[in-house]
């Protein structure tokens, strides 16, 4: 069952790399999730759609995305969780990105991800 | 008496290097026309068109007539954003002009203000530039995003034209 959605600023190659590390890894690219319906959605709309489905957004760190997620938490709307790659991770280093997420998921797959924002690599 | 169906809108436009009045200049809108001589652009301007035309605040006042209904819409939107109508008019004018100049580019609210992005893709122009710096080629950048090459070219053309703006947007979003 899908649990994670890779944002548009991540490559499909990152998703493929995750699946090479773990064939059953529960991730899909935003462009492929519900036929790419939300590939043009703005952050608040996307976060709401993901919350409704209980899906965690994986993205590159953007202050605006974290800000919108925080606003949703404060307003009571909430979100289903966000994983953000720090900018120290190269956008084209799919191997590192996939290792970081797959490793995190081994530990964190059972966490309550509601309103949680996790940064990778972890401090 | 003919029904008045338009009203005057004025806005300061940032970074415009020359006064444009479209042949419909209304000097009487401002203070009585005192010619200030050539401005920074070498143009002889009435005082109305020299407002804020300084190195510290390089803007000009540009006037245009718009439909009453459009003015009301603009006013409602400005109120919603809690900014002056003239500020919003200026923003819209600038962004629409840039959208015409760089097809495929749009603008959205971001943590640090407005941000150029690719509306069909959720990706900011500065993010495309980041990937391009590493990918080195347009085709590899397009492959990374799974886009046609023309989208990457759009973003790069915009970034090339407005490097300082893109750097500022990146700084705000990525904190680097």
Q: Do B89 and B164 reside in the same domain of the chain?
A: no
- Chain A CA closest to residue B134: A92
Q: Do B58 and B14 reside in the same domain of the chain?
A: yes
Residue B1 within a domain: no
Q: Residue B146: its chain A contacts at CB < 8 A? A: 11-12, 31
ipTM: 0.93
Last residue of some domain: B51, B66, B101?
A: B101
pLDDT at A72 over 90: yes
Q: Do B19 and B95 reside in the same domain of the chain?
A: yes
Last residue of some domain: B101, B116, B141?
A: B101
Taking the CA of residue B78 and the nearest CA in chain A, the distance in Å comes to: 21
Q: Do B65 and B127 reside in the same domain of the chain?
A: no
**Is A31 close to B173, i.e. CB distance below 8 A?**
no
Residue A101 forms contact with B (CB below 8 Å):
no
pLDDT of residue B33: 41
Taking only the tens place, the pLDDT of each residue in B140-173 is 999 999 999 999 999 999 999 999 999 999 999 9
Residue B112 forms contact with A (CB below 8 Å):
yes
Residue B21 within a domain: yes
Containing structural domain, residue A30: 4-120
Q: How confident is the model at residue B111 (pLDDT cuts 50, 70, 90)?
A: confident
Rounded to an integer, the average pLDDT of A72-87 is: 96
Taking only the tens place, the pLDDT of each residue in B46-73 is 444 444 555 666 788 888 899 999 999 9
**Is B131 close to A92, i.e. CB distance below 8 A?**
yes
Residue that is written with structure tokens 């009453």 in the block: B68
Taking only the tens place, the pLDDT of each residue in A95-111 is 999 999 999 999 999 99
Q: Do B72 and B150 reside in the same domain of the chain?
A: no
Q: Do B12 and B88 reside in the same domain of the chain?
A: yes
CA distance A78 to A22: 30
Q: Do B60 and B112 reside in the same domain of the chain?
A: no
- Chain B CA closest to residue A91: B131
Q: Do B59 and B114 reside in the same domain of the chain?
A: no
Containing structural domain, residue B36: 6-101
**Is A64 close to B134, i.e. CB distance below 8 A?**
no
Residue B96 within a domain: yes
Please name the member of B108, B121, B175 whose beta carbon is closest to the beta carbon of A8.
B121
Q: Do B40 and B93 reside in the same domain of the chain?
A: yes
Q: Residue A41: its chain B contacts at CB < 8 A? A: 122
CA-based nearest residue to B105, from B164, B166, B146: B166
In B128-160, which positions are buried (b, 16+ CB within 10 angstroms) versus exposed (e)? bbbbbeebeebeebbbbbebeeebbebbbbbbe
Q: Do B133 and B83 reside in the same domain of the chain?
A: no
Please name the member of A11, A39, A60 whose beta carbon is closest to the beta carbon of B144.
A11
Last residue of some domain: B101, B117, B132?
A: B101
The pLDDT > 70 percentage for chain A reads 100
Mutation target to probe the A interface, by most A beta carbons within 10 A, among B144, B152, B172 is B144
pLDDT at A23 over 70: yes
Residue B135 within a domain: yes
CA distance A25 to A39: 21
Residue B16 within a domain: yes
Q: What is the CATH number of the domain that holds A69?
A: 3.40.50
Taking the CA of residue A90 and the nearest CA in chain B, the distance in Å comes to: 8
**Is A62 close to B173, i.e. CB distance below 8 A?**
yes
Q: How many domains does chain B divide into?
A: 2
pLDDT of residue B18: 35
* Alpha-carbon distances of B33 from B2, B29, B44, B62, B82, rounded to whole Å: 29, 9, 12, 15, 33
Q: Do B116 and B97 reside in the same domain of the chain?
A: no
Q: How many domains does chain A divide into?
A: 1
């Amino acid at each position: 069952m899908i649990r994670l959605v890779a944002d548009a600023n991540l490559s499909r190659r990152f998703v493929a790399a995750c699946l090479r590390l773990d064939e059953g890894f529960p991730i899909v690219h935003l462009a492929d999730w519900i036929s790419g319906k939300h590939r043009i959605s703005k952050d608040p709309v996307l976060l709401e759609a993901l919350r409704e489905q209980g899906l965690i957004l994986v993205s590159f760190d953007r202050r605006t995305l974290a800000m919108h997620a925080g606003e949703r938490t404060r307003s009571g709307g909430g979100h289903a969780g966000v994983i953000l790659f720090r900018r120290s991770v190269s956008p084209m280093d799919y191997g590192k990105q996939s290792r970081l997420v797959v490793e995190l998921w081994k530990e964190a797959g059972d966490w309550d991800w509601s309103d949680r924002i996790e940064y990778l690599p972890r401090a | 008496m003919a029904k008045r169906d338009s009203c005057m809108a004025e806005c300061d436009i940032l970074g415009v290097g020359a006064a444009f009045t479209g042949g419909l200049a209304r000097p009487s809108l401002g203070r009585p026309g005192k010619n200030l001589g050539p401005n920074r652009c070498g143009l002889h301007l009435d005082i109305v068109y020299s407002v804020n035309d300084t190195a510290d605040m390089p803007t000009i006042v540009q006037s245009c007539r718009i439909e009453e209904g459009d003015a009301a819409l603009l006013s409602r939107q400005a109120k919603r954003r809690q900014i002056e109508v003239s500020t919003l008019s200026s923003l819209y004018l600038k962004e629409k002009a840039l959208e015409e100049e760089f097809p495929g580019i749009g603008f959205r609210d971001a943590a640090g203000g407005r941000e150029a992005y690719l509306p069909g893709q959720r990706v900011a122009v500065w993010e495309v530039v980041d990937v391009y710096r590493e990918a080195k080629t347009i085709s590899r950048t397009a492959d990374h995003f799974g886009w046609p090459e023309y989208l990457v070219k759009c973003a790069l053309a915009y970034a090339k034209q407005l490097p300082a703006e893109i750097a500022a947007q990146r700084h705000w979003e990525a904190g680097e």
